[in-house]
Structure 1
Amino acid sequence: MADYREAPLATRPKTLDPNEYFNLSPDYRRAEEERAALRANLKRQYQLQLNNPHRTELIEDPALTRWVYARANPYPHFRPTKKTSLLGVMFGVVPLFRPLCLLFALCFTDKFNHGPTCLMFIRY
């Protein structure tokens, strides 16, 4: 932190602000210590399971379980955005109109119209 120089057009990051860095409230420090203790306990349990030489069952990894569930059930977690809406139109709606555009291009342009009417099957 001693070698940090502020950039002329940027503000100092909150983590490097001395007032915030050193003057942490006791509640904030206690919460950080609890989170660190929880992480250390989970890591210890996982290491014990992983290094058990008499292990007979698979190790349950909660992160992998959440990932597999999210891959198998995408719709409960779907969030509509501009990007997903545009992709839905491009791959869902536009392909429906492509055959109509091709039919129009083949039948109603002078380049391909060789007879009295291209759509002879429409006559009654």
Structure 2
Amino acid sequence: MADYREAPLAARPKTLDPNEYFNLSPEYRRSEEDRAALRANLKRQYQMQLNNPHRKELIVDPALNRWVYARTNPYPHSDHRHPPSVCLYYVFKTDRVRDVLQLVLIVLTSYKMVLVAHVK
């Protein structure tokens, strides 16, 4: 820590700031100890489940579940991507249907003219 020189364009890391590193309030230390105890308890529970020789069910690891979900769903809340494709589908579909209907009308009118000419 004594050999550390600050970079001209970078801030000092919080862990190297003596005011933040040594002068911690008692409530901050207590909260860090509580978080460390909670992490240790969760780790102990997971290790107990993992090393249980009579285990018959799968081990539920919330962190692993979150990781798998994040890996399989890289774009959460990405519903904004779908409306343009739906709109384009609607435009192309209605345009195609309109063209087909016009073609059918043209064919029917020409067929009607042929029938009328054939009858006369």
Q: What is the Cα-based RMSD across aligned positions, in Å?
A: 3.7
Aligned ranges 1:33-72 → 2 under 5 Å: 33-63=33-63
Q: Residue 119 in 1 paired to residue 113 in 2?
A: no
In structure 2, what residue type is equivalent to 1:90?
Answer: P
CA separation in 2, counterparts of 1:84 and 1:4?
48
The structural deviation recorded for 1:28 is 0.5
Query: What residue number does 1:75 align with?
Result: none
What residue ranges of structure 2 are gaps of 5+ in the alignment? 71-75, 110-120
What residue ranges of structure 1 are gaps of 5+ in the alignment? 72-77, 108-117
The equivalent position to 2:84 in structure 1, one of 71, 78, 90, is 90
What TM-score comes out, normalization by structure 2 length?
0.58
Query: What residue number does 1:74 align with?
Result: none
- From the two aligned structures, give the one with the greater helix fraction: 2
CA separation in 2, counterparts of 1:52 and 1:120?
73
Q: Secondary structure at the match of 1:19?
A: helix
In structure 2, what residue type is equivalent to 1:52?
Answer: N
User: Matched residue pairs, number?
Assistant: 102
